[in-house]
Structure 1
Amino acid sequence: MPLILTPRLVLRRWREADIAPISAISSDPEVMRWIGDGSVHDGVEQTRSTVAGWEHGWETEGFGLFAVEVRATGELAGFTGLAVPHYLPEVLPAVEIGWRLGRSFWGQGLATEAARAALDFGFTDRGLQRIVSIAQVGNDASERIMNKLGMCVERATLDPYCGRAIRVHALNAPAAPAAPTTADRSP
């Protein structure tokens, strides 16, 4: 069961105690503004079903969305992690990195810190060669995070479910260091 520690965060699998806090995050119109058609999630039962789907991703894909916990307080800040973007068939096969944090956690660099750890997990532990991230046009905060992660815009398109304009960013796995040649070896 993957557990990742960063200087300020714990990235871990989901617990029952996370349902109420992630439900509150996903029912905030400002948080959901740039997700899908902007609709908020409808309560704890919908959230419980959504989290079960995220957990199913871990079982079927070997990766998924991590619960993001603040180390100093134990508070659930939101999520980050990896998923297959089935909703956007034109980019498949692909793995997407995404994040969602509660408003009280915005502007502190936590999403970038968590996403860097999730990218490293995808490239290093899961051997992924390429990871994408998808943002609605106008979601400048998420696109700044993508830029900080080294991702570059690959294409612009429309979200087929809600018709909103989106940009797909991509990042390839870091190249492995080349094996030393005879000329590189010390005598």
Structure 2
Amino acid sequence: MAAIRIETDRLVLRDWTDDDLRPFAALNADPEVMQHFPAPMSRTESDALAGRIHDRIAAEGWGLWAVEVASSGRFVGFTGLSVPSFTTHFTPAVEIGWRLAREAWGYGYATEAARAALGYGFGVLDLEEIVSFTAVTNDRSQAVMRRIGMCHSASDDFDHPRIEPGHRLSRHVLYRLPVDRWRAS
């Protein structure tokens, strides 16, 4: 499949390269970046994740794209679409997600990249709905979800099936964005 390249005013969403592995490992090892995940990742775990993401993009033509700052070419993380690999009340679904290096926080990059990914999901893939979820403690990601037009209903909240019950991160919020709401915004 042809590589997808999505450009925004300040960012490029693209396929992964070997040059992304070192900065990706650094952000995955950062305890602050990973505070809403069960643990930071080792270099081996990070490289394996990047490999799975790259393979998914190669197979499907879309996925969690590498994000770079257009003016510098600097890799700052990922944003894109994925299919949750677990079963719960809202699956099957397509999820939008992001993870950015701490030095890229506070510039609106997550929101800008997420809006571009939504455009691809609704405009190219013809999805009917896109969801996003995170631990209830992750206020920063929930703020991005609201900025991109997603809605939360407490009745959709769930215990993540891959996190031990009672763990501080087990309870998750679910946000939804139906295509009609996206079109109207």
Regions of 4+ moved over 4 Å: none
CA distance in 2, matches of 1:150, 1:175: 8
Provide the residue aligned with 2:159 in structure 1: 158
SS in structure 2 at match of 1:40: coil
CA contact (8 A) 2:79 2:98 kept: yes
Alignment of 1:124-163 (within 5 A): 124-154=123-153, 155-162=156-163, 163=165
CA distance in 1, matches of 2:22, 2:59: 25
CA distance in 2, matches of 1:92, 1:68: 26
C-alpha displacement at 1:173, in angstroms? 1.1
Which amino acid in the other structure matches residue 159 of structure 2? L
Instruction: Give TM-score, length-normalised by structure 1.
Output: 0.88
CA distance in 1, matches of 2:122, 2:55: 21
Count of residue pairs brought into register by the alignment:
174
CA distance in 2, matches of 1:40, 1:83: 21
CA contact (8 A) 1:83 1:96 kept: yes
Provide the residue aligned with 1:83 in structure 2: 82
Closer, same or farther: CA 153–88 of 1 in aligned 2, 3 Å: farther
Q: Which has the larger Rg? A: 1
Closer, same or farther: CA 147–32 of 1 in aligned 2, 3 Å: same
Instruction: Give TM-score, length-normalised by structure 2.
Output: 0.89
Provide the residue aligned with 1:168 in structure 2: 174
Residue-by-residue CA offset, 1:2-36 (whole Å, 9 max, x unaligned):
1011011000000000000000000001001112x
Structure 1: which 5+ residue stretches go unaligned?
178-187
CA distance in 2, matches of 1:139, 1:51: 23
Which amino acid in the other structure matches residue 95 of structure 1? V
Provide the residue aligned with 1:95 in structure 2: 94
C-alpha displacement at 1:66, in angstroms? 0.5
CA distance in 2, matches of 1:19, 1:176: 33
Structure 2: which 5+ residue stretches go unaligned?
none
Establish whether residue 15 from structure 1 lines up as the match of residue 24 from structure 2: no
| Percent pairwise identity | 40
Residue-by-residue CA offset, 1:128-152 (whole Å, 9 max, x unaligned):
1110000110111100100011101
Residue-by-residue CA offset, 1:94-149 (whole Å, 9 max, x unaligned):
00000000000101101000000001011111111110000110111100100011
CA distance in 2, matches of 1:170, 1:101: 21
Which amino acid in the other structure matches residue 14 of structure 1? W
CA contact (8 A) 1:88 1:159 kept: no
Closer, same or farther: CA 85–2 of 1 in aligned 2, 3 Å: same
